[in-house]
Copies of this chain bind each other. A is one copy, B any other.
Amino acid sequence: MRYINFEFIILKMRILITGFTGFVSEYFLEYLNTVEKNCEVLGLARTHPSFDVSNFDNLKIKFHKIDLLNKQEVENIIQNFKPSYILHLASVSSVAQSWLTPYDSFVNNTNIFLNIIEQIRVSKLQCRILSVGSSEEYGEVAEHQLPLTEDSKIVALSPYAVARISQEMLSKIYADGYNMDIVMTRSFNHIGARQKDKFVISSFAKQLVQLSKTSSTRKKITTGNLNIVRDFLDVRDVVKAYYLLLKKGTKGEVYNICSGKGTLLKDIIQTMSSTLDLEIEVELNPTLVRPNENKKIIGSYNKINSHLGWEPTVTIENSLKSIIEYWQDKLA
């Protein structure tokens, strides 16, 4: 007679989230809380989150303050937590800032990522990693190349783009060469309530809401070039895509995360002004105009759609409305 031991292993999702304090992370937690039960989350960031981690009933969240450049600390964290998933959101993601501090841009994008994947490699942990990249990797884009697909040409035109392309090359080599479970994105512009006002749409919305509260007759807003078209995706759709890619993306593949639609910045100002019943003047601030800026950027989400069925669900009007409501609330 033989005794057989059945071991029941409960496969809990143990997810490490870097850049935990950021805009995208909070939305990701909100979504995760609706789709997962019994999920352990370890958040990493350089500063404490401003949101309350006890808000999410289905998640058991811990936070650890860390500089991801500290290789030894990254090792300790990963050894102790043993994540089954990593959502790598940490980044110094401003192109303009990368021109001011190119060294910091490189190491705080590429090297922090390398510290993480190298630790997963040497510790032989089974872990799915989502490497978040950027549409900036596409560099100069001619109109006839639109919409951009994952096969479009990659050219670095800023220190930030160099860092992101390097990160993606490392991802690819670690996935193909070491059989590591890494999936990559090239994420286009995100928008949504709570986004910092250093980002263009949030900055516009904040200025417009402020103007709507003044009695001044001359209502003026300061902007960069408004005759450019960008592909804006609501952060609520972004985090759904990230979750899907973590769960079902194909190892070693890169996916555009975008709306597939181009919107003129001028039209966004127009829509938001109408919502607020505002008549405004626009003043161009030359320091906000980037040299050699692409006129038009639109991505194709065909790949993630055909692989995983993902598609955007939030309209731009809905996004803009929620952004305005956020600033109205915040500035009340």
Contacts and interface: CB of A to CB of B under 8 A. Distances in A.
A162 B158 contact: no
A156 B174 contact: no
Contact of A170 (B106, B121, B177): B106
A99 interface: yes
A216 to B, nearest CB: 40
A110 B166 contact: yes
Interface string A143-172: 000000000000011110010011001101
A262 interface: no
A241 to B, nearest CB: 26
Contact of A114 (B106, B157, B169, B173): B106
B114 A103 contact: yes
A121 B106 CA distance: 15
A131 interface: no
Contact of A111 (B111, B121, B157, B158): B111
- Is chain A's interface secondary structure helix, strand, loop, or mixed overall? helix
A256 B216 CA distance: 63
Contact of A158 (B102, B166, B177): B177
A2 to B, nearest CB: 42
A175 interface: no
Residue from A106, A107, A157 with most neighbouring chain B CB atoms (10 Å): A106
A118 interface: yes
Contacts of A158: 173, 177
Nearest to A115: B103
Contact of A166 (B157, B166, B172, B177): B166
Contacts of A173: 102, 156-159, 162
Contact of A169 (B99, B121, B166, B174): B166
Contacts of A121: 102
Nearest to A291: B177
A166 B172 CA distance: 14
Nearest to A170: B162
Given A111-B107, A169-B165, A174 B118 contact: no
Interface in A234-251: none
Given A102-B121, A165-B169, 9 more contacts: A103-B114, A103-B118, A110-B166, A156-B173, A158-B177, A159-B170, A162-B166, A162-B170, A166-B166
5 contacts: A102-B121, A110-B166, A159-B170, A159-B173, A166-B169
